Homo-oligomer: A and B are copies of this chain.
Amino acid sequence: MHILIIGAAGMIGRKLTQHLLETGRLADKPISSIDLVDVITPETPQSTGAVITCRQADLSDPATAPALVESRPDVIFHLAAIVSGEAEADFDKGYRINLDGTRALFDAIRTQHDTRSYRPRVVFASSIAVVGAPLPYPIPDDFHTTPLTSYGTQKAICELLLADYTRRGIFDGVGIRLPTICIRPGKPNKAASGFFSNILREPLVGQEAILPVPDTIRHWHASPRSAVGFMIHAATMDTDAIGPRRNLSMPGVSATVGEQIEALRRVAGDSAVRLIRREPDPTIIAMCEGWAPGFEATRAKSLGFHAESNFEEIIRAHIEDELEGVQ
């Protein structure tokens, strides 16, 4: 089993790589090699089995995609993207990488398909940003994609391409709409959605965190561990069961900020909760009022995808995976 991960240097890419190296197998077959690719050279993880190749490459360079699929990986994880804020600030760069880069990848696969009967499994990381307010709660699986950002537009377009290329037999694609990942490990970042992780991660290690929105804001989350689980399941599941609608809203936990904080209190006590400082930020409030409150995810659940069932589990997953079980 030969695997390619594009966007391997990101948080999910690194955790996915780690998981693959630990299990050593995918779809009951031993993993012989993993190609790790990103715009910055991914760190080389320790491997006792699979041959690891790390390379720096930009998917918007026309030479990149053909070179990546030349070795015909059995499974391709496509996680690379310019993030929401940057795609909004830089119109050309967002379209060039998120849309043209993805299409270049799909077309490079098509060339190998046409000449050498190649047909890999392709797992595409889509996003809940494909929907846009006003949104019902919960959002049904058949709700239309009317994104309110260029990032969401680019993801929605790639979903359509993935479904069409799959329908034509060029590859076997599964698009997974990831919830907002929480708790993101690492340091607080400046992403507008960063506070969802910050207000849990920082207090768990005795640090203060700022909450810029009211407790009533409801949003849709899954742990990094669940995100890796979605990827693995999408790579190994029987895709005949999906049918032509290849893009699936992943399961997750819908919670208000208030419910998040109460989960933190149950896990880590009042002293942790007291480290959350409320500093309302009208810009962030305005943005997150348009974000998805939660999805039915009926199809994904019936196809075997699963996430946490409540916010305490999300916090405990973080403690187990990032704090060595100690809090």
- Which residues of A141-199 are within 8 A (CB) of B? 141-148, 150, 153, 156-157, 160-161, 163-164, 167-168
Distance of A157 Cα from B164 Cα, bound (Å)? 11
Copies in the complex: 2
Collect the chain B residues with CB atoms within 8 Å of residue A137's CB: none
A164 to B244 CA separation, bound complex (whole angstroms): 26
Residue A203 CB within 8 A of the other chain? no
Query: With a CB–CB cut-off of 8 A, which chain B residues contact A161?
Result: 153, 157
In the assembly, what is the distance between CA of A163 and CA of B154, in Å?
12
| Complex: A230 Cα to B261 Cα, angstroms | 51
Query: Is the CB–CB distance between B168 and A147 below 8 Å?
Result: no
Decide yes or no whether A132 CB sits under 8 A from chain B.
Answer: yes
The answer, yes or no, to whether A55 is at the interface (CB within 8 Å) is no
* In-complex Cβ contact of A160 among B91, B143, B145, B168 (8 A): B145
Q: How far is the CA of A146 from the CA of B161 in the complex (A)?
A: 11
Q: Let me know if A245 is at the binding interface, CB within 8 A.
A: yes
CA distance A168 to B148 in the complex (A): 10
Q: Is the CB of B167 within 8 A of A163?
A: no
A228 to B141, CA, bound (A): 34
Find chain B residues with CB under 8 A from A145 CB.
Answer: 144-145, 160
Task: Please give, as numbers and ranges, the residues of chain B lying within 8 Å of A150 by CB-CB distance.
Answer: 164, 168
**With a CB–CB cut-off of 8 A, which chain B residues contact A167?**
148
A160 B164 Cβ-Cβ under 8 A: no
| Complex partner residue of A157 from B141, B160, B168, B244, CB under 8 angstroms | B160
Task: Please name the residue on chain B nearest to A162 by beta carbon.
Answer: B153
| A interface residues with partner B (beta carbon < 8 Å) | 91, 132, 141-148, 150, 153, 156-157, 160-161, 163-164, 167-168, 244-245
Q: List 6 A-B contacts (CB under 8 A).
A: A91-B168, A142-B143, A144-B145, A150-B168, A157-B161, A160-B160
